[in-house]
A and B are shown apart, each in its own frame.
Chain A
Amino acid sequence: MSSLERLVSSLKEGDRKAQRRVFDALAPKMMAVCLRYMGNKDDAEDVLQEGFVTVFTKIDSYSGAGSFEGWARKIFVNTALMHLRRTDALGLSDDIEEARTLFTEEATPIERIGYKELLKMIAALPPEYRTVFNLYVLEGYSHKDISEELGCTEATSRSRLQRARLKLQEMIRAQK
């Protein structure tokens, strides 16, 4: 039995030490994920807490196939989306103004940006843009998936993604 399997098995038994080990290992990474979605520390911590409770209480549904971190990450993302929906932050009205043409082809000095700065920039995006950007760019969702998840059209999802990119580009340039 691998150490991960042992850990999962301990989690399934409700072992608090195992829970703490998992928390210590995953919390900083998942905090970054939550910050990207929620945009501020307090909300991110709420989502992080709720996400861990879900991870520990729904551990029986983890089959062992696939990465445990990936499985847990999905729970945090879903928890964040749930919070955003609850607070009506996703702006469900369609926004299909074409933004593609506005994206500049100029080089953006993004490599010089540290992850903390980038996280702050993403956090500064409007929630509806931020959410689509996170789902598409960082979680690998398709526009179809996003439209189903957020209850908007695929065109809206595309438009929001493009606007998020543009805003980020502007912020990065401004930083430079």
Chain B
Amino acid sequence: MKEKEFDISVRNILEDAEMPVSPKVWRGVSASMAPRKVVVPFWAYAMAGVAAAAAVAVGVFIHRPAETLAPVNPAIVAEASSVDTTPVDATVAVPIEKQIERLPASAVAKAEPRKSIDAVQEVVPVSAVVEEPASRKQDVVRRDAPAQVKASFPVAASIEEDNAALNQLAFSRKKARRGLSFDAMGDLQNNTRRSFARGTLAPATKQTASAPGIYNATPEVAFGLPVALGVGVSYQFADRLSIGTGLRYTWLSRTFVGDYYDQDLFLYDSRDIDNYQHWLGIPLNLYYDLISSHYWHFRAFTGVGAEILLSNNYRIHHTPQDVYYKDTAKYPLLFSVGAGVGLELKMSSTVGVFFDPSLRYYVNTAKAPRSIRTVQPFCVDVEAGLRFYL
């Protein structure tokens, strides 16, 4: 046989040669071709939280509402109602002296004569306060319309009284913040950039199936970003202390390669598998106000959480149609502890926006289904949302 003929014969025999391929090859390829999922490192969360807080703070302080000029103080209104409110004929000018006589003694006792006159002139019409509480701009001191006054009370007969009124105002606001508040929040936790897949591509010995389920799972190709939504309620039970709880739904996801055996123990060999876990949790937090002002307050908090797995679903990539599997196994509650600091910016007297970054550690992960929480139990948690005060 000549060389050329030999070569052609070899080529013909090997032209369409095929050899069986071990499933571990696809596992390796799949691991190397990890989907480009968003991985948010610790520092990005911190920076995002600070930037958002700063942006809102700037917004709030630039657009300071008119409320700051003259809030309606129920205590002052009550005092005003004790003043002689006998209707006065608007056409008849009331002498200043008469008006002074009608004022309570406390309003004029410390006042200089000139200031007393000013005090009487600088009155707020009670009708405006009572009948139009929303029109706060009218509450501003009026110097030019004494003739329209039906009844009046002094706002500031002296600097001391001014201060006393402001203190009273601050106290009443503080008091108003105590009590119940509700919040609606979103929450992000960091996932990981570490590749759990490289190096250990396949289990050393393959498990054979005795029941439907996922077998021979490789370490993850990628973890999705943990996302949570929730509602909560807080109660301020002491001057600086409040306690909060609520309900929180969390969504976890991951991708890995593994074998799936269906009900008939038919093998879907070495497939890409997406795992979606749905958790419902109850947090219990204790908050301590570090610094407070009318527009924001800064607090520290610590707390615990308990979460239960609502469902654990798998999507097995398969052509022409993906296959779905639901893990019905029961898992124990997953507990966590956490601590952090929070910034709340008051948008109005009833609504605030808050950012609560914290560090959280998931405690009993050994018996939990595999997720980002079991491979990385220590994480950064950033809650943000709106808080509504009753």
Chain A complexes with chain B: yes
Contact, CB under 8 Å: A20 / B26: yes
Give chain A's interface secondary structure class: helix
Residue interface bits A142-176, CB-to-B below 8 A is 1, else 0: 00000000000000000000100100110000000
Contact, CB under 8 Å: B319 / A21: yes
Considering the chains assembled together, what is the distance between the CA atoms of A31 and B10 in angstroms? 17
Within 8 A of B (CB), among A47-78: 48-49, 52-53, 56-57
Q: Kindly identify which residue among B6, B7, B17, B32 contacts A119, using a CB–CB cutoff of 8 Å.
A: B17
B315 to chain A, nearest CB (A): 12
Residues of chain A within 8 A of B150, CB atoms compared? none
B2 within 8 A of A: yes
Within 8 A of B (CB), among A1-51: 14, 16-17, 19-21, 23-24, 27-29, 31-32, 35-36, 41, 45, 48-49
Contact, CB under 8 Å: A106 / B19: no
B101 within 8 A of A: no
Considering the chains assembled together, what is the distance between the CA atoms of A15 and B272 in angstroms? 12
7 contacts between A and B (CB under 8 A): A16-B33, A17-B317, A17-B319, A36-B14, A41-B22, A108-B1, A116-B19
Contact, CB under 8 Å: B13 / A28: no
Give the residue among A19, A105, A136 with the most B Cβ atoms within 10 A.
A19
Considering the chains assembled together, what is the distance between the CA atoms of A19 and B221 in angstroms? 15
Considering the chains assembled together, what is the distance between the CA atoms of A57 and B3 in angstroms? 39
Within 8 A of A (CB), among B1-36: 1-3, 6-7, 9-11, 13-14, 16-22, 24-26, 28-30, 32-33, 35-36
Contact, CB under 8 Å: B14 / A119: yes
Contact, CB under 8 Å: B14 / A20: no
Contact, CB under 8 Å: A138 / B11: yes
Contact, CB under 8 Å: A20 / B272: yes
Residues of chain A within 8 A of B16, CB atoms compared? 29
Contact, CB under 8 Å: B6 / A110: yes
Contact, CB under 8 Å: A19 / B25: no
With contact pairs A31-B18, A119-B19 given, residues A108 and B6 touching in the complex (Cβ less than 8 Å): yes
Closest B residue to A49 by beta carbon equals B28
Contact, CB under 8 Å: B29 / A29: no
With contact pairs A32-B14, A119-B17 given, residues A23 and B26 touching in the complex (Cβ less than 8 Å): yes
Within 8 A of B (CB), among A64-122: 103, 105-108, 110-111, 113-116, 118-119
Contact, CB under 8 Å: B1 / A105: yes
Closest B residue to A53 by beta carbon equals B32
Chain B interface residue number, banded: 20 to 34
Residues of chain B within 8 A of A115, CB atoms compared? 13-14, 17
Residues of chain A within 8 A of B33, CB atoms compared? 14, 16, 19, 53, 56-57
Contact, CB under 8 Å: A111 / B319: no
Having A27-B26, A110-B1, one finds 17 other A-B pairs with CB under 8 Å, namely A14-B33, A19-B33, A20-B272, A20-B319, A21-B319, A31-B25, A41-B22, A45-B21, A45-B25, A56-B33, A107-B1, A108-B1, A113-B13, A118-B10, A137-B7, A165-B3, A169-B6
Contact, CB under 8 Å: B11 / A137: yes
Within 8 A of B (CB), among A118-145: 118-119, 136-138
Contact, CB under 8 Å: B29 / A118: no
Considering the chains assembled together, what is the distance between the CA atoms of A17 and B274 in angstroms? 13
Residues of chain B within 8 A of A21, CB atoms compared? 319
With contact pairs A20-B317, A137-B7 given, residues A49 and B13 touching in the complex (Cβ less than 8 Å): no
Considering the chains assembled together, what is the distance between the CA atoms of A85 and B29 in angstroms? 22
Residues of chain A within 8 A of B19, CB atoms compared? 28, 31-32, 35, 116, 119
A24 to chain B, nearest CB (A): 8
Residues of chain A within 8 A of B1, CB atoms compared? 105-108, 110
Contact, CB under 8 Å: A19 / B29: yes
Contact, CB under 8 Å: A138 / B21: no
With contact pairs A48-B25, A49-B28 given, residues A16 and B18 touching in the complex (Cβ less than 8 Å): no
Considering the chains assembled together, what is the distance between the CA atoms of A132 and B73 in angstroms? 96
B6 to chain A, nearest CB (A): 6
B390 to chain A, nearest CB (A): 50
Contact, CB under 8 Å: B35 / A16: yes
Residues of chain A within 8 A of B319, CB atoms compared? 17, 20-21, 24
Considering the chains assembled together, what is the distance between the CA atoms of A162 and B20 in angstroms? 30
4 A-B pairs closest in CB distance: A28-B18, A32-B17, A49-B28, A31-B19
Contact, CB under 8 Å: A110 / B35: no
Considering the chains assembled together, what is the distance between the CA atoms of A16 and B273 in angstroms? 11
Residues of chain A within 8 A of B35, CB atoms compared? 14, 16
Contact, CB under 8 Å: B26 / A137: no
Residues of chain A within 8 A of B13, CB atoms compared? 110, 113-115, 118
B286 to chain A, nearest CB (A): 46
Residues of chain B within 8 A of A35, CB atoms compared? 19
Give the residue among A48, A49, A111 with the most B Cβ atoms within 10 A.
A49
Contact, CB under 8 Å: B25 / A27: yes
Considering the chains assembled together, what is the distance between the CA atoms of A114 and B168 in angstroms? 100
